[in-house]
Amino acid sequence: MINITKIFKTPKMKMPHSRKIDLWKGSDFVRIIFFFVLHTVILWALFLLGGLVNVDFDVSAFWDKLSSSGMVSTVGYGTCAIISMSICVFMYFFFENRNFIKSGKNVNLIYIIFELSIVVNFLTGHYVSVYARPFALCGLLALGLVNRRAGVFMSSIITILTLIFDVFAIGASSDGINAIAPVFIGFTTSLIAVYVALESSRSRMRFLATGAIISLITFVFAAFIEYDTFLSKEFWKIIIYGAFSGMMAVVMDMAALPIFEWTFNLVTDFRLAELSNYNSKLLKKMYEEAPGTFTHCSYVAMLAEQCASAIGENAVLARACALYHDVGKLEQPEFFTENQKSKNLHNEITPEVSVDIIRSHTKNGVKIIKKNRLPQIFADVAEQHHGTMVIRYFYAQAQKFYENDLDAAKFSYPGPKPKTKIAAIIMIADGAEAKARSLKDRSSAAVDQAVKEIIEERVNADQFSDCDLTTFDIAVIRETLTKGITGIHHDRIAYPPLKIGK
């Protein structure tokens, strides 16, 4: 049990505020609406292109088909339906995840997922079978590249878009079952896939098992819908198509994820696992050129992973970010204590120069991370993990040389403050791990007091005002760090001298 009464007793301490939503300017609305309109036009073009494919690109046949069914009604209704879907997408993300779609890149990401899914669903339904469509592809991509809630919402939208293509004779034939199947099969399998894949996203083999589950569900739905063909040749085809549907969705998702990751510089659990491997380029370089920093980052990564898991954050992401949070020290590793063997280079320069070198590692980290095309969140954490804290040692050193009061801002990190819970966790774990190393008494009580002081110092300096870290989160982090650090620095018995043999 977590003892909430153990938190803080300092009356002057400020508690963190809730996360702030970015304010939108007029130019932001114009830019984002432009992207929404652009992709709505692309979807509309796919709508018409599908019609041409449906008549084997016979323009006259396409024109005759539109004329016979009522050109204005067919194209008009389809256009209105697509525009309505775009409005729904905008409204959802604007009110649920406004910060996400403030970036035009993210709007492009959302719609490219839609467009890819529509094209694949259409081609599969037209050339193979409606039951072979990889219905879950959109939801799985959204789950991996955005989040679960987006996966659920986008699964619903792609189901309606697929139905729009079918009903208006642009996708597969709209007769009978081909118009109804996407509603039942697409919506159900997509939602189930999102939730099943969420629990399997860290293992590729378990993720493949998701495809088998989707296939089974598709088969069950198809069997009920096509009950009159039971055990016929057509029925066995449906079984094969159902199996194809689920596995195709998962395989295409796994194939497309690396392309999306590279193109949009995004992060998934699969990519995080690869970047967290100690054989990765930058981690190997850190181990060779800044071994002390490498060890420190490894410890902080372990602690951050435990803390993130304890408060319900992405533990894999926290670990990966922590491994790279001090990568900027590669620029001048010899100026950081953990990499010094005997000589301290700061003894030969002024405190002002020392501060410039020390605080530059946050900006250098951003530069190195971007140069190596690592995820943006790695750069954010590297820049934010010290916030605007004063570099106390060199500030105290400078006070010995000057009689007048010093400007603390000149001896502080430039910020910004942590903007996510993961950045805040790494800020706390970074300070706590470093302070624990200086303790002579590393008992649980001593470590707990050290962690408490680190957290209090940062809370009183208002370092968590830009993220949504709560009082309860802080209590959990404190207790988790105390256990973790005590475990790292546990006592061992002294080995007695022993001579074995002659």
pLDDT at residue 57 is higher than 90: no
Last residue of a domain, one of 210, 241, 266: 266
More confident residue, 417 or 26: 417
Same domain, 186 and 335: no
Per-residue pLDDT tens digits for 145-162: 998 899 999 999 999 888
Same domain, 58 and 176: yes
Mean pLDDT of 159-174: 69
Burial category of 123 from C-beta neighbours within 10 Å (exposed 0-12, middle 13-18, buried 19 and up): middle
Same domain, 33 and 53: yes
Provide the CB-side half-sphere exposure for 320 (13 A, CA): 25
Per-residue pLDDT tens digits for 337-372: 999 887 888 888 888 999 999 999 999 999 999 999
Within-domain flag for 465: yes
Same domain, 328 and 400: yes
Within-domain flag for 14: no
What is the model's pLDDT at position 495? 58
pLDDT at residue 6 is higher than 90: no
Question: Of 181-195, 317-331, 360-374, which range is least confident?
Answer: 181-195
Mean pLDDT of 377-396: 94
Last residue of a domain, one of 196, 231, 266: 266
Q: Write down the pTM of the prediction.
A: 0.79
Instruction: Tell me what the pLDDT averaged over the chain comes to.
Output: 84
Per-residue pLDDT tens digits for 70-107: 555 667 888 898 999 999 999 999 999 888 999 899 99
pLDDT at residue 468 is higher than 60: yes
pLDDT at residue 5 is higher than 50: no
Per-residue pLDDT tens digits for 246-288: 888 888 998 999 899 889 888 887 788 889 999 999 999 999 9
Which pair of tokens denotes residue 138? 């959109």
CATH number, position 70: 1.10.1760.20
Give yes or no for a contact between 276 and 319, defined as CB atoms under 8 angstroms apart: yes
What is the model's pLDDT at position 389? 96
What is the model's pLDDT at position 7? 41
Same domain, 224 and 367: no
Same domain, 398 and 259: no
pLDDT at residue 226 is higher than 70: no
| Structural domain harbouring 49 | 26-266
pLDDT at residue 58 is higher than 70: yes
Give yes or no for a contact between 423 and 385, defined as CB atoms under 8 angstroms apart: yes
What is the model's pLDDT at position 252? 92
- Name the CA radius of gyration of the chain, rounded: 29
Same domain, 245 and 300: no
What is the model's pLDDT at position 193? 84
| Domain count along the chain | 2
What is the model's pLDDT at position 413? 95
Q: What angle do CA 141, 142, 147 make, to 5 degrees?
A: 130
The torsion region of residue 274 among left (phi > 0), alpha (psi -120 to 50) and beta comes to alpha
